[in-house]
Amino acid sequence: MLIHWAALTFAFINSTIQLLVPLYALHLGYPGLTIGILAALPSIANVTLRLTVGRLSDHHGETKVLQAGGLFYLASTIGLLIATHLGLVALVGAQLLQGVGRSIFWTVGQTYVTKMPLRSGRNLSLFNGSSNLGMLLGMSGAGLWVVALGYRGAFMIVAAFALGYSVLTFALQALSTPDLRRRTVHRPTRFAVPNLRLGPLWFAACCSFVSAATMALAASFYPVFLTRLHYGERSIGLLVMLLAAGMLGISFVARPVVERIGRLEHLALACIAGTGLGVAAVPAFHGWLPLAVLLFATGFCSGGCNLIYQLSVQRHSTWDARGAAMASVGLFGNLALLVLPTMIGVSLRWVSLEVALVAAGGFLVSLGVIAGVSVGGAGRPALIQAVTATGPDTD
């Protein structure tokens, strides 16, 4: 299916950029705070636009919005190539455009998949498997391209793949809507309204934050930490790739588990705790093999959080409000991408990077505990609803 090929291609480009940008910033001699800000810049656009993107997909359809996102993403990769000539200002602009493209794909692409006619568990598993395979290939190839072609050559390859991704978005077929929804009278200006009183989606929001946190570290301070241990670009790419390998691993085993579970909270708690402990434990290991095992395990738990958050949105939102629900929950992941690198970069003025990583892992564990207590004591939560009447959820 084309959406799965689009997910693989997008994740391949995205993970390559997430690894190349901090390495390139280190190559140019920028300090830790600047690297953290550069890594967080795409999330500024994400946080600003994600709710709007969700509304647009509910109103105009997923395919049109995905096509616009493909063009934004192509422009951002060209901006990275230009940044090798113009420096920091162009790099900042390219990173902001990255955020626009990412907010569209991760919101609207996931919404598109949950509306496909096959069983949601299968579709989400295939979608996440494709995304995680793309991340694995991108992270493993990024360091090799730098060694073989330099940063300018690596960014040229990224731009070529972005052109392919943009073409795929224009080949996607529009989704058919349920018959009952066609018979419903709609107002011309109908929009689904995001409701941040998320009810049953609080655990999904927590899972979104934790899953994105690992990617935030992979795109910012994991490369910095590994560089201080005297690993080269190729080794850094292979080690960080194991996060995506762990995510890919859980994509194959999670579907039969989640499809048999009525409530996902216990599984979510285990995945959140495992991810947080994995993040906190990274500074304790310096050898290649222990780091490889730990990063794989952390990615495995993080991938579980990612799948749970998407499946929870599918279970607890209506068809007409799906894009708004996905945007509202995904916003917490964007906050992780924005807040975590920035806070670690700021904290490096007072503490070591190792201490900052341990604190980040402890925060993720505590976040899971707080979410567990909150959901455990809550009554029956409300769903995210649309402004007008909605048709049934056919997934």
Q: List, for the chain, all residue ranges whose pLDDT scores fall below the cut of 50.
A: 180-196, 377-395
| DSSP 3-state of 173 | coil
82 sits in which H/E element = helix 62-86
Alpha-carbon gap, residue 380 to 7, rounded angstroms: 35
CB of 98 closer than 8 Å to CB of 17: yes
End-to-end Cα distance, the chain: 17
The H or E element containing residue 153 is helix 120-171
- pLDDT, residue 287, reads 86
| Tokens encoding 361 | 């892992």
Give the separation between CA 58 and CA 313, rounded to whole angstroms.
Answer: 14
pLDDT digits over 89-104, tens only? 888 888 888 888 888 8
- pLDDT tens across 32-68, in order? 777 777 877 887 777 778 778 888 887 888 888 898 8
Residue 350: how many other CB atoms lie within 10 Å: 8
Q: Which residues of 92-121 are buried (b: 16+ CB within 10 A; e: fewer)?
A: ebbbbbbbbbbbbbbbbbbbbbbbbeeebb
Tell me which of 2.40.50.140, 3.40.50.1220, 3.30.365.10, 1.20.1250.20 is the CATH number of domain 2-173+193-376.
1.20.1250.20
Quote the CA–CA distance of 14 and 165 in Å, as a whole number.
11
Q: For residue 176, give the 3-state DSSP assignment.
A: coil
Are 5 and 130 spatial neighbours (Cβ–Cβ below 8 Å)? yes
Q: In the prediction, which pLDDT does 375 show?
A: 58
